[in-house]
Amino acid sequence: MAVNLKTALGPLELDHPVINASGTFDVLEADTVLEEDLFARFPFAAYVPKTVTLAPRAGNAPPRLYETSAGLLNSIGLANRGIEAFIRDDLPRLALLPVPVIASVAGEATEDYGVCAAMLDGRDELAAIELNVSCPNVELHGRALGLDPAGTHRAVSLARESTSKFLIVKLTPNVTDIVEVAAAAVDAGADCVSLINTVHGMVLDPWSLKPVLGNVTGGLSGPAIKPVALRAVFLVSQAVTAPVIGMGGVTTAQDALEFLAAGASAVAMGTASFRDPLAVTGVVAGLAELMEERGIGSVAGLSGAAH
Ligand SMILES: Cc1cc2nc3c(=O)[nH]c(=O)nc-3n(C[C@H](O)[C@H](O)[C@H](O)COP(=O)(O)O)c2cc1C
């Protein structure tokens, strides 16, 4: 049986359902290090660069990364060179990728979501904009907007008024009810939701018993969070009509299969790319095999099978 891996997120047509998670695969950097001709044979079906903010951000104090028994704890703090540098320096190069490019933006102030969306609206290099609502918000004294439905609604509404691009809202799992937040995002005009961002966590140094991370706490990713993410994708996909991008611990083809079955139309890989930046290639090939073994001929036929 021939398996068709093509999938769609609204108007975005993807050759297969595996994209990268923001902040975990720097194609411009990887292109200088990896032997592969990354731009000609880009392994992900779409490319999402690291989140950018209106002003450059230095990020959090080091150490910023710690490997746990089943995942990665990070407190990068959205270090980035700012949206102007992204548009000027990165976008023209990213336009050479053979796949759709999805910019990721976050706001330190709520109104930044509208300003950033407006700045990207006319850029033909971009197929979509993803709003990362997990950025510390100045008006909320460092609390993320995405931690409640009302804050999410405000950010998404401002972006929606400022762009006609396909709008994806990336949800944080650090909430009481992620379904409520997803519904608020869609109500405010999101075309798609992606989930989950990292899960709040911390680690102590075993000897000093002090927090390891410079920022004290961080965000957990990787295999440890997969069941949390799978539940969120299952619940959100049955509650909203917008397509869902599922992520959180996707490492193997079996993981990708399960996220799609839980209701995602595409999945993203993050932490797994740190161990093997080309792990995606095996996941895509393996996914086709697993689908074939189960007699599932298309992603549409798989998506939501768990329901
Ligand atoms: C080092 C690191 C940096 C990240 N940076 C971002 C970011 O800039 N923007 C964003 O939306 N998510 C960011 N994330 C979260 C991932 O995109 C993803 O949602 C999360 O890690 C769960 O997927 P995973 O378990 O496959 O890594 C980052 C994750 C890691 C590990």
- Domains defined for the chain, CATH in brackets: 7-61+78-206+222-302 (3.20.20.70)
Separation of alpha carbons 262 and 185, rounded Å: 20
Over residues 95-130, the pLDDT tens digits come to 999 999 999 999 999 999 999 999 999 999 999 999
Question: Would the pTM of this model clear 0.95, i.e. be above it?
Answer: yes
Question: Mean pLDDT in the chain?
Answer: 97
Q: Are 101 and 47 in contact (CB under 8 A)?
A: yes
- What confidence score (pLDDT) does residue 34 get? 85
Over residues 255-269, the pLDDT tens digits come to 999 999 999 999 999
Which bin fits 255, alpha (ψ -120 to 50), beta or left (φ > 0)?
A: alpha
Active site (annotated) includes residue 135: yes
Separation of alpha carbons 195 and 21, rounded Å: 10
pLDDT at 37 over 90: no
In the chain, which ranges are E strands? 7-9, 12-14, 18-20, 65-68, 71-74, 102-105, 128-132, 166-170, 192-195, 199-201, 218-221, 244-247, 266-269
pLDDT at 271 over 90: yes
pLDDT at 162 over 90: yes
pLDDT at 1 over 90: no
pLDDT at 138 over 90: no
Of the chain, the percentage scoring pLDDT greater than 90 comes to: 94
Confidence tier at 36 by pLDDT (50, 70, 90): confident
- What confidence score (pLDDT) does residue 7 get? 98
Instruction: Name the residue type at position 213.
Output: L
**Which residues have any ligand 1 atom within 6 Å of their CB?**
21-24, 50-51, 72, 74, 76, 78, 104, 132, 170, 197-198, 221-222, 225, 247-250, 269-272
Q: Are 63 and 213 in contact (CB under 8 A)?
A: yes
Higher pLDDT residue, 186 or 2? Answer: 186
> Which amino acid residue places its CA nearest to atom 12 of ligand 1?
22
Probe target for ligand 1 pocket from 18, 19, 20, 24, with the most ligand atoms within 8 Å of CB: 24
